Amino acid sequence: MNQEQKINSWLRMSVFGSITLGLAPFFPEPHIWGKIRWIMGGAVGMQPLDWFDFLFHGAPWFLMIGLTIYKIVSIYSPRK
């Protein structure tokens, strides 16, 4: 398995994780969205567990964004 196949595999897993873990629970609003709104509002009253929860639900999103940026940069960078 070459590097591009590994990146594609991780990207697929991160998309799946973002849709499932990153958005769970779905109702009344996605959990990560509520945490982002809380942080944007000043994070008043956030406990360490809330920050861990934000990182836990945000990890698939961070991975997906990072891998997407890596793929875009690798596509447009000059080949050696």
Q: What range does the domain containing 64 cover?
A: 3-19+31-76
Judged by DSSP in three states, 21 sits in coil
How does pLDDT run across 31-67, given as a tens digit for each residue?
889 899 999 999 999 999 999 999 988 999 999 999 9
To the nearest whole number, what is the mean pLDDT of the chain?
88
Euclidean distance between the first and the last CA atom of the chain, given in angstroms as a whole number? 21
The structural domain count of the chain equals: 1
Inside any domain, residue 24: no
Of 14, 3, 57, 4, the closest CA to residue 35 belongs to 57
Inside any domain, residue 57: yes
12, 33, 50, 68 from 56: Cα distances, Å: 18, 13, 10, 19
Question: CB neighbours (10 Å) of residue 1?
Answer: 7
